Amino acid sequence: MHRNTIAVLAGAQLAAAGLYPGVTADNHTCALADPVLSCSKGAVPGKVDTCCVETFGGLVLQTQFWDTQSGFESQGQKYPPATWTIHGLWPDFCNGSYTQYCDLSRQYDPHPAPNTTDGTPHGTPVPPYTGPSIETFFEPYGKMDLLAYMKKYWINQGAPNWELWAHEFSKHATCYSTFQKECYGPKASEYDDLFQFFETVISYYKTLPTWRWLSASNIHPSNRTSYSLSHIQAALTREYGVVPYLGCGGPRYNETKAGKGSRDNGGTQLNEVWYYYHVYGAPQRNQALRVPADIAGGSLTSCAKTPGAIWYYERAPGSETK
C-alpha cells in the first residue's frame, strides 16, 4: 500500500468515466486480437483494442506480503503456513509512475488512501465506500469457491480482509485499460470486472511461490538468524529469472543497536516482494514477460543492505492456520 515511487496525477477527467472516452461496449472479443506486449511501441490506443491489450498500466506488478500477525486472528483471519500472501496486481505506467482510483463509479474502498485521486489536497476527493462488505457480492454469482480461496490467501492486517480486496480493486484495477467496465459487453453482470480482477490476481500469484523459492536457498523464517539482502535477492532472482523488488519495514538499520552509527537506513524486517511483468495482450490471459524491478529506473529495495541486517521473522504463535 505504501510505494516508493511517486504517484502522478492523470487528471480528474479519469475519475468521471472510463479511461478512454468513446470506447463502447461492443466488439471486444480478445481471442480475435493480437496479444501485443504491453509497453511495446504497438501497445497504444488507436493501434489496438484497449480492452484486449493493456495500454494504460502496462508495467504489471504481482505484490505479496510476509506478515507475522494480522491483528484479526480472533476473527479467524490467520495466515496459511509456509506461504506468503497476496497484496495485489498493480498497473504501473511503463515509466514506473502510477495513478489510482481511476473510476469512482467502482469505489468499494471504505478507507481510500490517499483520499484524493492524485494524493494532493487539490485532487478529486475519493468518497469512502459505505455499502455492505463486498463479501456479500459473491454468493449470488456462484463465486463462493473464489471467496474461500481469497479468505485463505489474501489476508489484511489490522482490518477485515474484504477491505484490502476492495482497496486493491478500486485503487488499482480501475486503472487498467483491460479491466474497464465497457470491456465486458453491453450485458455484463454487475461484478464481472471485480471477479475477473480477483481471478487474474490469483492466476499470477499461483505461479510465484515465494516461500518455497526462499526455502530452496535455505532462507527460512527465523527469529534467531538474520539474513543478507544479497542472499535473498539472489535466491528469488534464481527462481524468477530476473530481480524482483524487496520491501522491508521495521526499524531502520541505523536505528537498531547493531546498526548504530551506520549510514544504512534501510528497513530491517522483510515484508514484501513485488514481481514485475510486461503482459502479452490483456493481463487476464496470464501470459507475461518477467522483467527486472528496475526496468523503469526505480530502486530494487527498501531493505538494509548491510550484510546480515534483515530479519525474516517467524509468524506469531496462533497467527497461522493449522
Ligand X SMILES: *[C@@H]1O[C@H](CO)[C@@H](O)[C@H](O)[C@H]1NC(C)=O
The CB-nearest residue to ligand X is: 316
Min CB(203)–ligand X separation in Å: 26
Q: What are the grid coordinates assigned to 57, written together?
A: 498500466
Min CB(141)–ligand X separation in Å: 27
Q: Cell 477485515 maps to which residue?
A: 160
Find, among 315, 239, 296, 258, the residue nearest to 38 by Cα.
296
Give the rounded distance of the alpha carbon of 276 from its chain centre.
10
Q: Are 92 and 61 in contact (CB under 8 A)?
A: yes
Question: How many residues sit in the footprint of ligand X (CB under 6 A)?
Answer: 22
- 316 binds ligand X per the rule CB under 6 A: yes
Quote the CA–CA distance of 322 and 320 in Å, as a whole number.
6
Restricting to residues 5-64, name those near ligand X by CB under 6 A: 8, 10, 24, 26-27
Is 172 designated active site?
A: yes
Restricting to residues 68-127, name those near ligand X by CB under 6 A: 68-69, 93, 95, 97, 115-116, 125
Min CB(125)–ligand X separation in Å: 4
Is 314 designated active site?
A: no
Q: Are 178 and 284 in contact (CB under 8 A)?
A: yes
Select from 4, 136, 207, 223 the one that contacts ligand X (CB under 6 A): 223
- 317 binds ligand X per the rule CB under 6 A: yes
Q: Which residues contact 245 (CB under 8 A, 6 or more apart)?
A: 61, 272, 273, 274, 276, 293, 298, 299, 300, 301
CA torsion angle for 137, 72, 65, 132 (degrees, to 10)? 20
Q: Which of 28, 172, 182, 272 is catalytic?
A: 172
Query: Which residues are catalytic, by number?
Result: 87, 168, 172
* Contact footprint for ligand X (CB under 6 A): 8, 10, 24, 26-27, 68-69, 93, 95, 97, 115-116, 125, 223, 254-255, 263, 265, 313-314, 316-317
